[in-house]
Amino acid sequence: MDAARRLMSFQFTFFLFYLASLFQNPTDSSAVILQKNNIDGVLNHNELVFVNFYADWCRFSKMLEPVFEEASNTVPTAIQNVVFGKVNCDAETEVAQKFGISKYPTLKLFRNGRVQKREYRGQRSVEAFKEYIEEQMKSNIKQVNDLKELNDIDSKKRNIIGYFNSMDSPEYKTFQQVASNLRDDCDFTVAVGEISKKERLSGDNIIFRPPRTKDQDMVYLGSLVNKDLLTAWSTDKCVPLVREITFENGEELTEEGLPFLILFHNPEDAQIVQKFNQIVSRELLHEKGNINFLIADGTKFTHPLHHLGKSTKDLPVLAIDSFRHMYLFPDISQMSVPGKLKQFCADLHSGKLHREFHHGPDPTQPPQIAGQDQQQQQQQQQQQGGGTAPQEKRPTTPPESQFIKLAPSKNRYTLLRDEL
């Protein structure tokens, strides 16, 4: 009898929870449920939106859920102008595809409606989320008090510098938004008011200063209040064709799924980096979207060098990592020879690099003489040169990919594909 009463009590309690779930107001949850019909409005009308792309069946998503919910209840209270959102990727497949979701859970930040290139890959805790959002809310624009300070900005980075009469102007507000969206790609600096007067002879002014240059500033000539135009110009300057890979961004670069053409260099050797950039821009623009062009500090990435049979003494070293194998560019001194690097990339696409590493060089056939079959030609060659029989090719194995190890971990994400 007592057991029956306990069972009835449990059933009644469960029924009450069920009814509550039916009539629960969605606004009771601080994390906004994002769907195809509301996501654009939420993203475009909030300064920062931190979004969890998840799947109910994913165990890592289940582990994150209570942490993300707690953060959504506390972080927006402490920090203004930030919204937490979540997308059920099984129910919202179009939304997931639109933002290129390839693993669960994926945490992305949207700023003024624009998805930030670098997704969140840090610790999954309420405190870590709070610190991340606080950092993202800080201004990334450095203000100088004297134009001489512009000589001290980091010359190794890509810099955009603005000269404005006032921070209250529409021109500065536009600059501020663009700078915020590109905070991961460029350093932004401003001189405001009287100190910038000599740089504003014809009005407010914005320039781009390429890395490792002097007196090569590039002036922005478009409208300073046209956000889209300034964004396009700044993106072109801030997001280079050749990027630097580090241990911090290696995972996201690997996740793009494109083979790496990577120059390992000594950090003091600026000349080889400049030469590599010039060659890529001149000969390999057509490969953009097929290959990631990268430079790496060879004194830090010693492990991949070791697998190529090289050391820091051999720098600079050029190689392709296909995410299966690594292929060494045979002679770095030939990099500047027109067509050499282009052919190296073409040989990757055709399979020649893989074939030759496994089976030796492809055979080169002598020109065929009209009316003469292959057997007759071989006999004639042996008679003329006393030729020797071709040596047997010894199969070789190229070094395994090392950068694939920087890809997202299966101990942290449910990957939607096993291979890149």
DSSP for 13-80, written as a single string? HHHHHHHHHHH--GGGSSSEE--TTTHHHHHHTSSEEEEEEE-TT-HHHHHHHHHHHHHHHHHHHHST
Q: Is the peptide bond before 105 cis (omega within 30 degrees of 0)?
A: yes
Mean pLDDT of 216-231: 95
Which has the minimum average pLDDT: 110-119, 141-150, 188-197, 308-317? 110-119
Query: Is residue 21 over pLDDT 60?
Result: no
Return d(Cα 145, Cα 192) in angstroms, integer: 8
- The pair of structure tokens assigned to 279 is 């060659």
Type and span of the H or E element at 270: helix 270-283
**Strand 32-33 vs strand 82-88: parallel, antiparallel, or unpaired?**
parallel
pLDDT digit string, tens, across residues 314-364:
999 999 999 889 999 999 999 999 999 999 999 999 989 888 776 666 665
Type and span of the H or E element at 159: strand 159-164
- Residue linked to tokens 């921070």: 167
**Strand 292-297 vs strand 317-321: parallel, antiparallel, or unpaired?**
unpaired
Q: Is the peptide bond before 363 cis (omega within 30 degrees of 0)?
A: no
**Angle, vertex CA 158, rays to CA 153 and CA 162, nearest 5:** 70
CA neighbor of 260 nearest in space, from 335, 175, 327: 327
Query: Is residue 418 over pLDDT 50?
Result: no
**Angle, vertex CA 358, rays to CA 276 and CA 302, nearest 5:** 45
**In terms of pLDDT, which residue wins out, 19 or 177?**
177
- The pair of structure tokens assigned to 274 is 């400049």
Residue 158 near residue 187 (C-beta atoms within 8 A): yes
Query: Is residue 152 over pLDDT 50?
Result: yes
Return d(Cα 414, Cα 57) in angstroms, integer: 10
Buried b (16+ CB within 10 A) or exposed e, 219-258: ebeeebeebebbbebbeebbebebeebeeebbbbbbbeeb
Domains in the chain, ordered, with CATH?
27-137 (3.40.30.10), 141-238 (3.40.30.10), 243-359 (3.40.30.10)
For the chain, the helix, strand and coil percentages under 3-state DSSP, each to the nearest 5: 40, 20, 40
Looking at residue 333, its pLDDT comes to 94
pLDDT-based confidence at residue 255 (cuts at 50, 70, 90):
confident
pLDDT digit string, tens, across residues 180-196:
989 988 999 999 999 99
